[in-house]
Structure 1
Amino acid sequence: MPANKRAMKADDFKRLDVFSDPNFTPDGKAYTYTATTVNEENEYVSNLFFHDLEGQQPVPWTFGTNKNSHLRFSPDGSKAVFQSTRTGLPQIWLLSTAGGEAKQLTEFKHGAANPAWAENGRSILFSAPLEADADVSSQRELTKEERQKEAEQKKKQPLVVNRLKYKSDAKGFHDNKRTQLVRFDLENETFIQLTSADADHSYQDISADGRYVLFAANLSDEADFEQSNHLFLLDSATKEISNLTNGKGSCHSAAFSPDGKKIAYLGHGFEYDGATLNELFIHDLDSGERACLSGEWDMQLGDILIGDSRLGEANTGPVWSQDNSSLFFIATDHGTTGLYQATLEKELNVLYKEDNHVFSFAYHGETEEFILGISTPSDPCNFYKLSKGVELKRLTNANAAFLDEVSVSAPETLSITANDGWILQGWLLRPYGFEQGKKYPFILEIHGGPHAMYGQTFFHEMQLLAAKGYVVLYINPRGSHGYGQEFVGAVRSDYGGKDYEDLMNAVDYALEHFSFIDETRLGVTGGSYGGFMTNWVVSHTNRFKAAVTQRSISNWLSFYGVSDIGYFFTKWELGHNLLDDPEKLWDFSPLKYAANVETPLLILHGEQDYRCPIEQGEQLFVTLKHQRKEVEFVRFPDASHELSRSGRPDLRVERLNHICRWFEEYL
């Protein structure tokens, strides 16, 4: 590595520009995108940029310390809508592409988001959280002072709960608001509420003539007890709603074909519960018949590659070709994501796939060109143009100054054979300033999910640990996406079984093949399922000298009732609900084996984590401390399950510093 480059620091992620949401202009000669960074006030800031494809530098279209995003052009390119928090909450704004100030279109009490053009530019469709009796024609956004007063009054009132789904990690405790679809008539400046059911409506697409709106929701009377999500067709003229996907299943990412005759969407029928691969379906609107294009592919459609340096929206498809004959989408495969094309005859073609992470794309039908958002282990993000018969062309130079200054380690890809012959993929990072003949401490990183995937993307936490002088190993044990349906489903009802063996096989492989690892100084860490597995590891082996468990599960008996997903996830993943076989859930719980723990353990948990609630960390800490084990508990205020990825920047830094402190002390 160049001698003039310094090591990565815990707060370096705050210096990164994170690009997202590329969108072509209607003529295909330029595109826009969102850039997110952290300002000096410890806030995430997003602004919109315009980039002419003839080679000019990107030009900022918005400025300031707000969150501006989701820019969409009118069909003729003369105007654009976007959402912005410049008044406090996200609202919809209109901008002339010829220049000038943006005009605020919505002042909804609880905000408005995700605008889309309709009726050839005569109206705009958007989503808004509304109370059941809300009047969209008389909305008014509260002032900052009014919002604070309302929030303070709400805290003084008891919360009356009568639904199973009364909280979520993303939103906290639910209220009586539901996400509804609203249309704004630009000429008459009037609002029309299109949906009103007691359910959240997720906008998907609108037909070319503007009459039919696609949305996803669960409108069943049993919605409180189901995880299903169906596609609905709304006739905006008559308000009639048709269910296109009756039955058990999850459907999303739906899009009309350009001729309006078909709908493409992703989904599945929970055949393997939460481990089921997405399939690509085509719904024929004339016949009502459904066809599955992806039945023989055995790959996960969409982007499941995880990291800690991705913010903002991403289009992963499916997107129709202009001639209605094929679809484009991102898929997850063996530690990478790539851009694929599928014909209606079920032919699958790879348009772009290398050892990296395609996190978003835009497609222009007339030019048949793509803008790809790509991240690599040594480059957080950049945009590239992909054209037929032309080499991939880089368009941006994001974070150039940062990468010139800071050393980034390139991972070595590993192929590991498990005890039973299954092949496992992993990666190893050598430490900053690596020297031959020197021994280094080692850290095993375990991902969450468990149905997620490590791979070829930028991961600040991994780079930081390597910068601190550790050999870092991360692998995809069985249960991970990217290796087919059998592999991703193999962890179900076997937590702490073959998945644990996979991780230990990987550690054995690293010790055997890399003599610079000091086998007396091994550490382990992970979050969510990775936190569960960290707990399991230290309660089933003493080979690790230090461990950090993050937002973990320690007791499946209580997890069933306290997590926002526990009442169904426990059955999905372990095969049993609480009353089915409580003894079995206890057998799966690391807390049962706490007396075996000899490894110094640091427990990190967010106070507002509703996915793996903090009581999971509390139980583990109290049990270990009561036995006088070497344990420490760090509780992060105002932090949800997403702390490590999109939490408050200052708390993200604190979290990383605690991890480094613990390993430095014990390794």
Structure 2
Amino acid sequence: MTVRAKKFTPEALLSAPRRSAGLPNSDASKVLYSVSTYSFDKHAKTSEIRVLDVKSQETSLVTDKSGSSEPQWLDDETVLLLHEDEGGVTHVKVGPADDFKDKSYIAGTIDGPVGNVKLTSIDNTTFGVAVTGKAKLNGDLFNPEKASKPHTTGRVYTSLFVRHWDHYVTENRNAIFLATLYKEGDQYKLSGLINALKDSGLESPIDPFGGTDNFDISVHGLVFTAKDPVLNPATHTKTNIYLSASNTFWLDIANKIPEFFQVPIYNFEGASSSPVWDKEGKSIAFLSMKTDGYESDKNQLFVIPDYVSPGWVQHLFPGSTGKGSWDRSPQSITWGNKILYVTAEKEGRTNLFLTPASAFLDGAHSSSPHLLVKGGSINDVKVLESGALFVSSSSLIDNSLYSLIPADHSTRISQGRNAYTLPVDESAVDPASTELTAAYVSSNSRGGSSFGLSRRQLDEFYWPGSAPNTSIHAWVVKPSNFDPDQKYPLAYLIHGGPQGAWTDSWSTRWNPAIFAEQGYVVVCPNPTGSTGYGQDFVDAIQNQWGGLPYEDLVNGFEYIEKNVPYVDTERAVALGASYGGYMMNWIQGHDLGRKFKALVTHDGVFSMTSQLASEELYFPFHDLGGPLWSNSSSWAEWDPSRFLDNWATPHLIIHSELDYRLTMNEGLSAFNVLQTKGIPSQFLTFPDENHWVLKPENSLKWHEVVLDWINSYVGLAKYTEVKSKN
């Protein structure tokens, strides 16, 4: 960012450059990344691919051509990227990073839209390439711009999954396409694409959020995860790991893809994810859950030591019960030199852990991986040739931070040294400190200062949980001009999930600092059901949607009343989305609802029976203890619509038409009740948004309506009125 925001407003949030995870070259002297910026003056988004010179801290443009994306290093100076063009085609372009505009060339053209590019080096002149795209029934890549248009809009379905997230399911399915990129003279050329999943009955990546984390390639083959083809995805979460490999894989695929092998994971019937090859293309690591139908079961770590014997699968940290001795749920895996790095949530942060190869190769099992990096939320890790780690992360006040962990980190950790912490800014590294601080590489927001934010605004506290032997953790975000002698209205933010958490991470949808800069003290609690506090705490949400979490929130409000003198609980508002929206509707019908001046429900649950219209039925079936017809009492017990007699607090309802997870009728029903009862209320909807509001102009409208609504009930100026005067 080149311009400091005078105040962190929704416009500042939404127009700030959004930077991808960094992709370092071999020694991290240069970092390749993409960045997009939205202009509310021009009502347009610009996207660029840039290179950061770490030593000088200067960046140079690779390309700003519309449609360019997914840059990759071919070597320390040469970049490959995808470029969408007219007719729906995708060009694979190659060129020098420092003169891409004039010296790049098209290595190949793919007849359709693709993404999620991955590369693996086969030899000095050849790369294996994988991309993903929609495939037609015959296995060919689907190009929507060239597809014939039907004369009717009618669709007939004979099984579940009529629609998913924000779209209706069609005959076209995600597939992984393979090719080679080989050198011919001084230029690279792309071979023809081969649909690796053709005629397999499998689909990968898995909709709606699957991407590069759903598959991986190496010199020896392809590994991926896909839904079990025998089970209906609307009522089951089971996914399997499939492997296609050989010693001459990239030569073999020209004739036939080596047969898929379904990796056996005994006694694990849930979702398997994040398959990753090691650097040599010999071993594979992946994650798996025990329970089918439970998307928030604990991920556990597995390794196939040698792809030649894919039936030999080692379970890391299994424990005596099979539930796993490590009480964390890893989210991603990165291979180092005989080391596995995994990210996992721990008490409101996404930290980095490591486990040495001895944990699975020599049978020398420890009880858990070692904590390596803590603080903020790590979203990507790259291992350099030296063994150093390049880490991309964010925090509640910084939207993109690049850091470097030195190559001797495993030795230091094995000596019992403290875990590394992420640097706040370039000046944060103190050589005299006993803490191990990661080396600063780059911050997109200069440690939050470009937004007028700082770590001084952040705090956290705990209060006793409603269940025995539990504590509830909450993040606290204060205004940047905070004065401890003043009193501030409370904004109580309830997260979705319910198996989710407020973490020390950046968000452009629900950013606590936006509310803090309006003049609130923002409290973001992680009640029963939240992730990052042990699996028992997560699992306790089952059959307790309006029980233990609600009691935790009541206890939290009382704790704030008694122990936080700078918060005025007489001027309190509460807001939540998804499960947080459910909780707003539940609170409205219970005593805690009378403590708030106003409520905001974004895409929440109004009636439990309406969950039968959702696409992923396994979710309510699990959390409510079975289908409605076999456990109607649980569905009724936690139904917010049973308590409409008590609804009285002013309430803003937000619900968008493309939300197929929690359908539009949920929001309309709540608003109709409020209006019929004469309760002050508003309804905001977007016909072109799903469960989230993602388009910048729509998101700005969302922020304006929400802030105007809550500000007007706590004595703060409406946001749009202040904006119009500036």
TM-score under structure 1 length normalisation: 0.87
SS class of match (1:13): helix
State the Cα distance separating 1:582 from its structure 2 match: 3.0
Which amino acid letter does the alignment assign opposite residue 218 of structure 1?
Answer: K
Deviations 1:398-422 (A, max 9, x none): 2349834634562211021124441
Instruction: Give the match for residue 399 of structure 1.
Output: 445
Instruction: Give the match for residue 299 of structure 1.
Output: 328
The 5 A counterparts of 1:5-154 are: 6-26=6-26, 29-40=29-40, 41-66=42-67, 68-69=69-70, 71-74=71-74, 79-85=78-84, 87=86, 91=90, 93-97=92-96, 99=99, 100-103=103-106, 105-117=108-120, 119-120=122-123, 121-135=126-140, 142=145
Kindly indicate whether residue 450 of structure 2 is the aligned counterpart of residue 440 of structure 1.
no
Kindly indicate whether residue 596 of structure 2 is the aligned counterpart of residue 544 of structure 1.
yes
Matched-pair contact (CA < 8 Å) for 2:7–2:452: yes
State the Cα distance separating 1:24 from its structure 2 match: 2.9
Which amino acid letter does the alignment assign opposite residue 314 of structure 2?
Answer: A
Instruction: Give the match for residue 336 of structure 2.
Output: 321
Deviations 1:624-654 (A, max 9, x none): 32222322211112011121xxx10011111
SS class of match (1:273): coil
- In 2, Cα distance between equivalents of 1:470 and 1:156: 52
- In 2, Cα distance between equivalents of 1:430 and 1:614: 34
Instruction: Give the match for residue 220 of structure 1.
Output: 229
Matched-pair contact (CA < 8 Å) for 2:293–2:619: no
State the Cα distance separating 1:503 from its structure 2 match: 0.9
Instruction: Give the match for residue 178 of structure 1.
Output: 173
Matched-pair contact (CA < 8 Å) for 1:108–1:128: no
TM-aligned CA distance change 1:351 to 1:97, over 3 Å: farther
TM-aligned CA distance change 1:207 to 1:123, over 3 Å: closer
Deviations 1:198-234 (A, max 9, x none): 432236555543x421121135233445321111112
Deviations 1:50-74 (A, max 9, x none): 23444452322121444522x2333
- In 2, Cα distance between equivalents of 1:343 and 1:90: 44
Unpaired runs of 5+ residues, structure 2, are 182-188, 206-211, 318-323, 360-364, 409-435, 715-726
TM-aligned CA distance change 1:510 to 1:221, over 3 Å: same
TM-aligned CA distance change 1:54 to 1:637, over 3 Å: same
SS class of match (2:457): coil
- In 2, Cα distance between equivalents of 1:275 and 1:477: 15
1:380 corresponds to which of 399, 415, 419: 399
Kindly indicate whether residue 192 of structure 2 is the aligned counterpart of residue 190 of structure 1.
yes
State the Cα distance separating 1:259 from its structure 2 match: 3.6
The 5 A counterparts of 1:247-286 are: 248-270=269-291, 273-284=294-305, 285-286=307-308
State the Cα distance separating 1:26 from its structure 2 match: 4.1
SS class of match (2:52): strand
Matched-pair contact (CA < 8 Å) for 1:182–1:194: yes
Instruction: Give the match for residue 484 of structure 1.
Output: 534
SS class of match (1:181): strand
> For structure 1, which segment, 440-449 or 158-167, has the greater mean C-alpha deviation from structure 2 after superposition?
158-167
Instruction: Give the match for residue 167 of structure 1.
Output: 163
Determine what percentage of the aligned residue pairs are the same residue: 20
- In 1, Cα distance between equivalents of 2:277 and 2:470: 41
Which amino acid letter does the alignment assign opposite residue 424 of structure 1?
Answer: I
- In 2, Cα distance between equivalents of 1:605 and 1:545: 21
State the Cα distance separating 1:91 from its structure 2 match: 3.0
SS class of match (1:445): strand
- In 2, Cα distance between equivalents of 1:602 and 1:191: 50
TM-aligned CA distance change 1:356 to 1:189, over 3 Å: closer
- In 2, Cα distance between equivalents of 1:44 and 1:176: 32
Which amino acid letter does the alignment assign opposite residue 167 of structure 1?
Answer: R
State the Cα distance separating 1:141 from its structure 2 match: 7.1
Unpaired runs of 5+ residues, structure 1, are 303-316
Deviations 1:295-323 (A, max 9, x none): 21101212xxxxxxxxxxxxxx412223x
Which amino acid letter does the alignment assign opposite residue 334 of structure 1?
Answer: E
Instruction: Give the match for residue 263 of structure 2.
Output: 244
Matched-pair contact (CA < 8 Å) for 1:216–1:229: yes
Kindly indicate whether residue 153 of structure 2 is the aligned counterpart of residue 157 of structure 1.
yes
SS class of match (2:22): strand
Matched-pair contact (CA < 8 Å) for 1:45–1:66: no
TM-aligned CA distance change 1:91 to 1:115, over 3 Å: farther
> For structure 1, which segment, 614-623 or 33-42, has the greater mean C-alpha deviation from structure 2 after superposition?
33-42
Which amino acid letter does the alignment assign opposite residue 338 of structure 1?
Answer: N
Matched-pair contact (CA < 8 Å) for 2:160–2:232: no
User: What is the Cα-based RMSD across aligned positions, in Å?
Assistant: 2.8
Instruction: Give the match for residue 564 of structure 1.
Output: 615
SS class of match (1:553): coil
2:550 corresponds to which of 476, 500, 525: 500
> For structure 1, which segment, 600-609 or 631-640, has the greater mean C-alpha deviation from structure 2 after superposition?
631-640
Instruction: Give the match for residue 239 of structure 2.
Output: 229
> For structure 1, which segment, 501-510 or 107-116, has the greater mean C-alpha deviation from structure 2 after superposition?
107-116
- In 1, Cα distance between equivalents of 2:10 and 2:151: 35
Matched-pair contact (CA < 8 Å) for 1:5–1:407: no
Which amino acid letter does the alignment assign opposite residue 326 of structure 2?
Answer: W
SS class of match (1:655): helix
TM-aligned CA distance change 1:167 to 1:279, over 3 Å: same
Question: How many residues are paired up?
Answer: 629
Which amino acid letter does the alignment assign opposite residue 547 of structure 1?
Answer: L
Which amino acid letter does the alignment assign opposite residue 606 of structure 2?
Answer: S
The 5 A counterparts of 1:459-478 are: 459=507, 461-478=511-528
SS class of match (1:318): strand
